[in-house]
């Protein structure tokens, strides 16, 4: 286990401050944030399309208890799209006063939904192999 001394603390502080500065520069970019919000919405819709297909064909079941009732209804994709759109609007509103927080939350959503989409695709591909 490495020893904690003043040199290590200074290096950690320098690294952390550089990371925060990088995050600030990314969070202040309106184009990047627009792309991230659009990506988030697209991933939520893709997750909805794949989930609906998998559930209606009997290959999977919906894991979200709130959406289990709606997945067989035509409103399901509209609900997913509306939820993603309102989440993007909320993140845009947060971005005005807290750009770093908005950037980090949006990035977490994009990573989470990317994982969900890949998980759903793995289920689909696994059932056809």
Could you tell me the two tokens for 113?
Answer: 């939904």
Per-residue pLDDT of 91-116, as tens digits, reads: 999 998 998 899 999 999 999 999 99
- Residue 88 domain boundaries: 29-127
Sign of torsion, CA 54 55 60 62? positive
Within a domain: residue 2?
no
Sign of torsion, CA 18 20 24 26? positive
For residue 36, how many other CB atoms are within 10 A of its CB?
Answer: 20
Within a domain: residue 86?
yes
| Residue-level pLDDT at 29 | 79
Lowest mean pLDDT among 25-29, 43-47, 57-61: 25-29
Number of domains in the chain: 1
Within a domain: residue 98?
yes
Within a domain: residue 18?
no
Within a domain: residue 101?
yes
How far apart, in whole angstroms, are the C-alpha atoms of residue 71 and residue 19? 41
Within a domain: residue 92?
yes
For residue 16, how many other CB atoms are within 10 A of its CB?
Answer: 10
Average pLDDT, the chain: 83
Within a domain: residue 59?
yes
Q: Looking at the predicted structure, is the pLDDT value of residue 9 above 70?
A: no
Pair 95, 26: CB distance under 8 Å: no
Within a domain: residue 75?
yes
């Amino acid at each position: 286990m490495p020893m904690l001394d003043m040199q290590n603390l200074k290096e950690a502080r320098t690294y952390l401050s550089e990371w925060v500065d990088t995050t600030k520069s990314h969070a202040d970019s309106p184009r990047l944030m627009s792309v991230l919000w659009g990506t988030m919405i697209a991933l939520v819709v893709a997750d909805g399309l794949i989930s609906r297909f998998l559930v209606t064909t009997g290959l999977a079941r919906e894991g979200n208890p709130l959406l289990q009732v709606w997945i067989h209804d035509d409103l399901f994709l509209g609900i997913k799209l509306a939820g993603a759109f309102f989440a993007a609007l909320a993140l845009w509103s947060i971005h005005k006063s807290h750009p770093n927080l908005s950037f980090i939350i949006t990035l977490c959503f994009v990573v989470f939904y990317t994982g969900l989409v890949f998980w759903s695709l793995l289920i689909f591909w696994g059932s056809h192999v």
